[in-house]
Amino acid sequence: MNPLVQLTDTHAHLDGAGYDADRAAVITRATAAGVTHILTVGCDLKSSQAAVELAKSTPHIYAAVGIHPHDAATANAETRAALQQLIVSSDKVVAVGEMGLDYYRDRAPRAIQHNCFRHQIALAKEVNLPLIVHDRDAHDDVLTILREEDAAAVGGVLHCFSGDIAMAHACIELGFYISFPATITYPNNDALRAVARSISTDHLLIETDCPYLSPQKFRGKRNEPAYLRYTAEKLAEIKGLSLADISRITSLNAYRLFGIGDIDQSARIAYAIRDSLYLNITNRCTNSCTFCAKFKDWTVKGHQLKLEREPSVAEVRAAIGDPSRFREVVFCGYGEPLLRIDLVKEIAAWLKEQGCKVRVNTDGQANLVHQRNILPELHGLIDTVSVSLNAADAATYQHWCRSRFGEQGYVAVKEFLTLAKAHIPEVIATAVALPGLDMAACRAAADETGVKFRAREYNELG
Ligand code: SF4
Ligand SMILES: [Zn+2]
Ligand SMILES: [Zn+2]
């Protein structure tokens, strides 16, 4: 198993009788398939108790306790007290659920489902644990109850998500994650794949919901955590990422929500996304963009980028290792790489000696910083430079990007683009699709400088 693939199954029902004959083998197969952590989820009091027992006896298994809407009619004050007891009995209980509404089967009267759901949200808030929400054909009522009960106070996950794009975004606004099961692998499920495509990777989780919902390859047979990989692979394909990327991202998300998993959050100097290697050499920047993700969170695609100090040339080389493994090496990170022009030149020269393709992502103000035209110095060292233009005029640029040079910053960016063509084979001006930004005008501004233009998505880095 690739050590970079460590998956967390955030929703399994391992207590089910269907596993009585071979539960230990199922758990072993999961580990062998790279599923390093499993959250086993209760549906009623009995299965919640069984989930907690399993979690207590297996280090990498955790439990959620709750009452499924199918069983809502069995819940009363006593059951709720028993759930609360279970929660305090073990720190392996990391969530309350599954709970929610199921109007597809309507096994319990809807009013009773509502009550049971509301009571469990209150319980989760009392014990300060996130929710695992089941929603089948009840999207509007689920959202209404989550809002009315202020579920945002603890957050949680919409498991086996089956709503549309608008619903997914409404849940994310409430601080919820969206979890995808193997139904995303079913050939006719384009709608679900469209939802996955539309949401930022920061909000994604994966699950099996085993023994139900086997991936396409095993459809109709019993599901198990080892098959989680098929969902991860499909999600990677949909998001244009590698399996290792999806593994790292969804494991970090599971850690953030449930506190489970072994997460390496040490600062990265070099970090891989897809088949590119990115270099994070400084956190300093000439700009202070209003939309910069680092002001909220220093991770990019699961990599932690907040440096304790700026790395030396030797440290950057050591972090790169063998660069021939990558299609390209990109100076990027949460800072302006050309502030460290000397290091960029030295590392780029070393990379070029080894036949690597080298790119720099920059805000294009290096000539103001260094008080000289640095572009001739990059001649022969850099194959591509990608410059954030982000506006069609200086005032708009300053509004969004807040250059320390004021509106002069924008003038410098355009001049940088114009001058870059003589020294760097590929020069691209980019603009983030900020709300209200006139993309056509940005493209025209890039045209004036004679370089290519590329629009980038808002809120999706790396
Ligand atoms: S230029 Fe990039 S790193 Fe710097 S503040 Fe703007 S978005 Fe963040
Ligand atoms: Zn469910
Ligand atoms: Zn379930």
Judged against a pLDDT cut of 90, whether residue 431 lies above it is answered with yes
Q: Give the mean pLDDT of 271-288.
A: 97
User: In DSSP terms, which residues pair with 132 in a beta bridge?
Assistant: 157
pLDDT average, residue stretch 360-379: 98
pLDDT for position 461:
55
Strand ranges (DSSP E) for 210-285?
Answer: 270-273, 276-279
Pocket test for ligand 1, best of 284, 289, 362 (most atoms within 8 A of CB): 289
Position 457 scores a pLDDT of 79
Q: Which ligand is nearest to the CA of 13?
A: 3
Residue 3 scores a pLDDT above 90: no
- Residue 454's pLDDT is 96
Q: Note the pLDDT of residue 174.
A: 97
Task: Say if ligand 1 is within 6 A of residue 292 CB.
Answer: yes
b/e for 391-420, b at 16 or more Cβ within 10 A?
bbebebbbebbbbebeeebbbbbbbbbebb
Identical fold for domains 7-258 and 270-456, yes or no, is yes
Average pLDDT over residues 276-302: 95
Q: Is 364 in the pocket of ligand 1 (CB under 6 A)?
A: no
Q: Say which CATH topology domain 270-456 has.
A: TIM Barrel (3.20.20)
The answer to whether residue 462 scores a pLDDT higher than 60 is no
Ligand 1 site, residue 294, Cβ cutoff 6 A: yes
Separation of alpha carbons 462 and 88, rounded Å? 40
> How is residue 58 annotated by DSSP?
S
pLDDT surpassing 70 at residue 121: yes
Q: Look up residue 223 and give its DSSP letter.
A: P
pLDDT at 353 over 60: yes
CA distances from 313 to 73, 270, 277, 319, 359 (A): 65, 12, 16, 10, 17
Residue 264 confidence class, pLDDT cut points 50, 70, 90: confident
> Which ligand sits nearest to residue 158's alpha carbon?
2
Ligand 1 proximity of 180 Cβ (cutoff 6 Å):
no
What whole-number percentage of the chain has pLDDT above 90?
95
Ligand 3 centre to CA of 245 (Å) is: 26
* pLDDT, tens digit, 9 for 90 and up, residues 371-415: 999 999 999 999 999 999 999 999 999 999 999 999 999 999 999
> Looking at residue 317, what is its pLDDT?
98
pLDDT in tens, 11-43: 999 999 999 999 999 999 999 999 999 999 999
Ligand with smallest separation from the Cα of 70: 2
> Following CA atoms 152, 158, 161, 164 in sequence, which dihedral angle do they give, to the nearest 10 degrees?
-10
Query: Residue 419 has what pLDDT?
Result: 98
Q: Say how many Å lie between the CA of residue 209 and the centre of ligand 3.
A: 5
**pLDDT tens digits along 291-300:** 998 998 999 9
Beta strands 7-12 and 35-41 are: parallel
**Ligand 1 pocket member 365 (CB < 6 A):** no
pLDDT at 356 over 80: yes
Domain boundaries, the chain: 7-258, 270-456
Has residue 460 got a pLDDT over 60?
no
DSSP H helices in 284-365: 313-320, 341-353
Q: What is the mean pLDDT of the chain?
A: 96
From 285, 332, 389, 402, the mutation candidate for ligand 1 (largest count of ligand atoms within 8 A of CB) is: 285
Average pLDDT over residues 127-141: 98
**Cα(10) to centroid(ligand 3), Å:** 10
φ/ψ of residue 97, rounded to 5: 145, 175
In terms of phi and psi (left: phi > 0; alpha: psi -120 to 50; beta: otherwise), the region of 276 is: beta
pLDDT at 162 over 70: yes
Question: How many residues appear in the chain?
Answer: 462
Is the sign of the CA dihedral 240, 242, 246, 252 positive or negative? negative
Contact present, 141 and 133 (Cβ < 8 Å): no
pLDDT in tens, 49-93: 999 999 999 999 999 999 999 999 999 999 999 999 999 999 999
Q: Give the right CATH number for 7-258 from 1.10.1740.10, 3.20.20.140, 3.30.930.10, 3.40.50.2300.
A: 3.20.20.140
Which residue from 9, 324, 374 is spatially nearest to 157, judged by alpha carbons? 9
pLDDT in tens, 309-345: 999 999 999 999 999 999 999 999 899 999 999 999 9
